[in-house]
Amino acid sequence: MKKVHIILIFCCMSLLTGCLYPKENMKQNAVPYEDQLQVVQKAVVTFKEQNDGILPIKTRDMSTPIYQKYPIDFQQIAPRYIQEAPGNAYESGGVYQYVLIDVETNPTVKLIDVRMAEQIQELSLKLRMYRDEHQYPPFKKVISDGVYELDFKKLGYKDVPQVTSPYSGKGLPFVINEKGEVFVDYRIDLYDALKKNEGQFTEGEDIRNILSKGSPFVPAYSLPYTVKDGEPIFLKS
């Protein structure tokens, strides 16, 4: 019995010493510092000016969704244009991927929280396992043409999984399309943003950029949205 207690104490100590520091480190690496964004922005602009308009980005397939399409390649700008990747960058052990938007007109540095991708991967894995056995996803209801809500209990979830919004801190649900691909549903945030910017968008126009304006983040892993009667709806492809 005494031996068991010793083993348990040792395990607890190992967990504490192994986990407390990384958690503290993670806090530091999970803050979207404005000065870090500005430093990277300056490095990108300088790189572009000195390289005939070329941007320091990683190559992605043309079909890559727009907000994940232009990740910054820090190997191209460090250490000449920036000393190293910011501490909160994924490349440095942080939780953010630095990306560019408006690459043709005004390349602007923004962030993606990679923890979203991890949750999507987990859900996608459970979805694939379910489909291997049942062929079709466990649809719960149709939200829009080609957009569906899942029955998460059939996937083994006790509670409906959500991601934390980088804009409001609210929980955002997941949806899937007709191909079974998982996306984050930003309608909660878009609704709030539209109320602050009434009349600026017309039906049929993709309204997602309203979220990235004035925020360090892009609405990653999202489907296109438009507006109808002042409310966000999924944009039909």
Q: pLDDT tens across 48-101, in order?
A: 999 999 999 999 999 999 999 999 999 999 999 999 999 999 999 999 999 999
Q: Is 126 helix (H, G, I), strand (E, B) or coil?
A: helix
pLDDT above 50 for 171: yes
What is residue 30's predicted lDDT score, i.e. its pLDDT? Answer: 55
Note whether 41 and 102 are within 8 A (CB). Answer: no
Q: How far apart are CA 116 and CA 186, in angstroms?
A: 13
The full set of domain ranges for the chain reads 1-28, 34-114, 129-234
What is residue 141's predicted lDDT score, i.e. its pLDDT? Answer: 95
Q: How far apart are CA 5 and CA 27, in angstroms?
A: 32
What is residue 7's predicted lDDT score, i.e. its pLDDT? Answer: 38
What is residue 218's predicted lDDT score, i.e. its pLDDT? Answer: 98
Note whether 177 and 222 are within 8 A (CB). Answer: no
What is residue 8's predicted lDDT score, i.e. its pLDDT? Answer: 40
Q: Which token pair is 54?
A: 């070329």
Contacts of 165 (CB under 8 A, 6+ apart): 171, 172, 186, 188, 189
- Which of these, 27, 34, 28, lies nearest to 216 by C-alpha position? 34
- Long-range CB contacts (within 8 A, 24+) of 28-32: 28/87, 28/88, 29/87, 29/88, 29/92, 29/93, 29/94, 29/95, 30/88, 30/94, 30/95, 30/96, 31/88, 32/88, 32/96, 32/111, 32/216, 32/217
Share of the chain above pLDDT 90, in %: 80
Using CA atoms in the order 136, 142, 146, 148, what is the torsion angle rounded to 10 degrees?
Answer: -60
Note whether 172 and 151 are within 8 A (CB). Answer: no
pLDDT above 60 for 6: no
2 vs 108, higher pLDDT: 108
- Kindly state the average pLDDT of the residues 201-208: 93
Structure-token match 């109808």, residue found? 228
40 vs 200, higher pLDDT: 40
